[in-house]
A = this chain, B = another copy of it.
Amino acid sequence: MPYLKKPNPTPEPIDCRILTAALELFAKNGFHTVSIHQIQVQASVSIGSIYNHFGGKEGIAKALFDHVAIEFDEVVQDGMAMSEKPVAQCAEIIRLLFTYTDSHPYIISYILNMRHADLLANQPSIYDTSGFIKISEIIKEGQARGEFLPLNDSVAFSSIFGSALRMIQMRLDGLIEQPLVETLDDILMSTFDGACTEKGLFMSHALNSERVA
């Protein structure tokens, strides 16, 4: 029965197999708990090949970072293409990140956690990527148009993407069973319109209760 004979279904190139295996293992177990031997087994490759292609474990991590940075940039670009308006662009980026988290959790996990997880300092982080820079520019444009509050860079970023990123973290940590997209509308609403039922609810409290300086 030669038509059933598919004993070696590995059409992927070897370096791609290595990266895929390493990404999954790193995201699941963390850079330092994963040994090259594990990667070797999961990728069905020899140790020698790994060293030939990437020069070692750190080399794999570096290549993975470049890879996920490109993916992230594409998500941002896709989100930007959806509309001219910064608010809608940010909303679309969040939607894409949510779907991406559900479909490719290891990539998002690597983007978000890898730096803290393991690699030494002075390693590039997500904040150094072109995707993040594009987001910063969207926010600036939104402020110029008067859509977003005129807050400083990090505050504005946190206020727009903080809730969504926290949802992603919790989903990756296994605290949320639901697909993230199902929560999208709620997250967008609270992000853009606030977590309270009425605008000014917090300010009235702040005025009533004299806080200690």
Interface residues of A (CB under 8 A from B): 28-33, 82-83, 85, 87-88, 91-92, 95, 113, 115-118, 120-121, 125, 127, 146-149, 151-152, 154-167, 170, 173, 175-176, 183, 186-197, 199-203, 205-206, 209, 211
Partner of A191, one of B33, B125, B194: B194
Leading 6 A-B pairs by shortest Cβ distance: A32-B32, A162-B163, A159-B190, A194-B194, A162-B166, A192-B202
Given A32-B33, A32-B118, A197-B146: A87 and B202 within 8 A (CB)?
yes
B87, A201: Cβ atoms closer than 8 Å: yes
A88, B209: Cβ atoms closer than 8 Å: yes
Report B-chain residues with C-beta under 8 Å of the C-beta of A176.
Answer: 154
Report B-chain residues with C-beta under 8 Å of the C-beta of A82.
Answer: 209
Given A118-B117, A155-B183, A163-B158: A189 and B83 within 8 A (CB)?
no
A30, B32: Cβ atoms closer than 8 Å: yes
Report B-chain residues with C-beta under 8 Å of the C-beta of A200.
Answer: 193
Report B-chain residues with C-beta under 8 Å of the C-beta of A162.
Answer: 162-167
